[in-house]
Chains A and B, each alone.
Chain A
Amino acid sequence: MSSARDDRRLPRPVVGDRLTVKVDGQPVQAFRGESVAAVLLALGQQTFRHTERLGAPRGVYCGMGVCFDCLVTVDGQHYVRACVTPVQEGMVIETGGVSS
């Protein structure tokens, strides 16, 4: 479990159930109620993908589902918005972007 890499979680009034997801092949601990973006940021990972045209790094920008910058691959589905997608037990998250 790479939960201690650089855990940026803050104290919470109520803690959701623990669950395990995979981020780029590594098992990572997460909590029910967290978004994919929160899980990545909690690991200290700010870069979620590289763009198709310029290969530029991108991460969370708007945080509310309108900018489509925080795109990751979830369970094989490309272009999923990390900021509005809640984690589920066993979810497979791939960052880095889709190479065209």
Chain B
Amino acid sequence: MTESVDLAIVGAGPAGLAAAAQAAELGLPVTIADAFSLPGGQYYKQTTELGVMPATEGQAGRLIEGLARPHVRLLLGTLVWGIFSERGGYLLCLAGPPGTPRRLWAETVILAPGAYERPVPFPGWTLPGVMTAGAALGMVKHQRVLPGRRVLLSGTGPLQWILARHLIDAGAELVGVLDANRFPWNGWRHAGAVWGQWGRLGEGWQAWWAMVKAGVRIRWSRIVLRAEGDRQVERVVVGPVDGSRSETVLADTICLGHGFTPAVQLSRLAGCEHHYRPDQAAFVPLRDEWLQTTRSGLFVVGDGAGIGGKDVALLEGKLAAMGAALQLGRDVPPSRISTLKRDLSRQRRFAAVLDALFPFSARLGNLLTDDTVLCRCEEVTVGEIRRAIDERATTVSAVRMLTRAGMGRCQGRMCGGPLAELIARQTAQAVEAVGIAAPRPPIMPVELEGMLEVES
């Protein structure tokens, strides 16, 4: 039997938690599901055993405590693998521990799926030792294990500085910090948007100072051109973004931090309209002032709707919860709505500064050689894809059918963006014309018995 609820929230990171807390406060019964076994998402990540939230205890702790109400149901370890329009609401398909409902019908849904790191392929990027900045940060900060001994950072923006600081504190040998962008000389123009963000400026400054003390200098307009090694990374060829010069450094670990890309699988599966945001080089759901998508009663909040960071996510979660409450016939004081919208636009201005100063450049794709593996799961090379494009496959879907690129276990999360950029470059189209592959349920591999609707 399918259970029916007023409001379902998918994702228990900052955006989902804020939405749940706000909805609960407005008296709505809430069901919130998250694939991980503890709430917090990637930002408020909790270590499995200790259940403590390093550094963010206050804020995250308050949010999670706010869920301890009788009308809030938290479904952990529960993957929402499908969403479908049905009877004026949405049917959610769940796979979770025994006792978890397999189907949930919700009149309103808030999706807070978050984001993952933007993959930027280069020759050798599949070698062990090449990992995302987030993977390395998780190892140092949460697992307390050094991911490697001689570490090179490549990417862009202040999150890399923060990783550098953690690695320095952990005793790793930092052999370089490369930033794909030029030094942001024009940063002063954004002083107005940055004014008042003392906490985050302080964090950036501390990280910068830790690098200075350790004698680590950021090398601007530099990237990894190629990683080499037999069984894992041993040597890294680095150079300017145009590849005009190069030098080799010895390292066993490369941490890639080129920003994030929204996880739009569920919002696309639900049939929401998406548009391409050039400033973020990503497809995001179209939303109204309540963060409702083109599907009535379906909201998307946080990084899953466009990268804005934790503070934008918290405010968006609250705003969508108010929107859902209004739709469900609850009262929301108008003064609270206007305050929230004002705070949100201030936080979005800050997020836009980071986009402007540390943009992603599709030029990085110029480094791909024919033997570079683009689709990590199906091991499809750039050469194979280029041949498919020559055979008139000019969209992501067409290349997928010819080469299997994007059909593996990650379902195109890793190669989807780079694939679209490669096709766009080779066919002289805009990336938005090339499109993104249609998501297919289940949006992540699920055990068959977890999908079946069995009664116990």
B contact residues, range: 35 or more
- Give chain B interface residues in 223-255, CB to chain A under 8 Å: 231-233, 252-253
Q: How far is the CB of A18 from chain B (nearest CB, A)?
A: 12
Tell yes or no: B429 within 8 A of A by CB: no
Inter-chain contacts of B126 with A (CB < 8 A)? 56, 58, 61, 69
Task: Identify which of B15-23, B132-140, B388-396 touches chain A.
Answer: B132-140
Query: Which residues of chain A come closer than 8 Å to B170, judged between CB atoms?
Result: 10
Give the nearest-CB partner of A77 in chain B: B447
Taken residue by residue from 374 to 407, chain B's Cβ proximity to chain A (1 for < 8 Å, 0 otherwise) reads as 0011110000000000000000000000000000
Q: Once the chains bind, are A68 and B410 in contact (CB under 8 Å)? A: yes
Whether the pair A16, B134 counts as a contact (CB closer than 8 A) is no
Residues from chain A with a CB closer than 8 A to the CB of B233 are 46
Does A41 reach chain B (CB closer than 8 Å)?
Answer: yes
State the CA gap A8–B129 with chains docked (Å): 14
B128 touches A38 (CB 8 A): no
* Known contacts A33-B49, A62-B116; is-contact A54 B232 (Cβ 8 Å): no
* B136: A residues at CB distance < 8 A: 63
Closest CB-CB distance, B212 to chain A, in whole Å? 23
- Segment of B81-89, B142-150, B178-186, B198-206 in the binding face: B142-150
| 40-89 of chain A: CB within 8 A of chain B | 41-42, 46-48, 51-54, 56-69, 79, 83-84, 86
Q: Does A5 contact B (CB under 8 A)?
A: no
- Whether the pair A62, B135 counts as a contact (CB closer than 8 A) is yes
Distance in angstroms between the alpha carbons of A57 and B129 in the assembled complex: 10
Is the beta-carbon distance between A8 and B128 smaller than 8 angstroms?
Answer: no
Contact A48 B128 (CB under 8 A): yes
- Alpha-carbon distance A30/B378, docked complex (angstroms): 33
A residues near B140, Cβ cutoff 8 Å: 10
Of the candidates B143, B147, B232, the one whose C-beta lies within 8 Å of that of A34 is B143
B131 touches A8 (CB 8 A): no
| A15-B47 Cα distance, complex, nearest whole Å | 11
- The answer to whether B139 and A63 touch across the interface, beta carbons within 8 angstroms, is yes
Shortest CB–CB separation between residue B385 and chain A, in angstroms? 15
Is B132's CB under 8 angstroms from A61's CB? yes
> Does B332 lie at the interface of the complex (its beta carbon under 8 Å from any beta carbon of A)?
no
From A17, A42, A47, A54, contact of B145 by CB (8 A): A42
A11 at the interface (CB under 8 A from B): yes
Closest CB in chain A relative to B200 CB, distance in Å: 22
Nearest A-chain residue to B447, judged by Cβ: A77
In the bound complex, how far is the Cα of B227 from the Cα of A57, in angstroms?
Answer: 13
Q: Is A29 an interface residue (CB 8 A)?
A: no
Q: Scoring B residues 48 to 74 as 1 if CB is less than 8 Å from chain A, else 0, what string do you get?
A: 111010000000000000000000000
Contact yes or no, B377 A68, CB < 8 A: yes
B36 to chain A: closest residue by CB: A84
Residues on the B chain within 8 Å of A1, using CB:
none
Partner of B232, one of A8, A53, A57: A57
User: Are A38 and B379 touching (Cβ within 8 A)?
Assistant: no
Given contacts A16-B49, A53-B379, A59-B232, contact A67 B144 (CB under 8 A): no
Residues of B within 8 A of A8 (CB): 145-147, 149
Complex interface: chain A residues within 8 A of B373 (CB)? 54, 56
Excluding A32-B49, A58-B126, A67-B376, 15 further A-B contacts by CB distance (< 8 Å) are A14-B52, A31-B49, A35-B143, A37-B143, A41-B146, A46-B148, A57-B127, A57-B128, A61-B126, A62-B116, A62-B117, A62-B132, A67-B413, A79-B409, A83-B138
Show the binding face of A for B, using Cβ within 8 Å: 8-12, 14, 16-17, 31-35, 37-38, 41-42, 46-48, 51-54, 56-69, 79, 83-84, 86
| Shortest beta-carbon contacts, A-B, top 9 | A63-B135, A33-B49, A59-B128, A68-B409, A38-B143, A46-B128, A8-B146, A16-B49, A10-B144
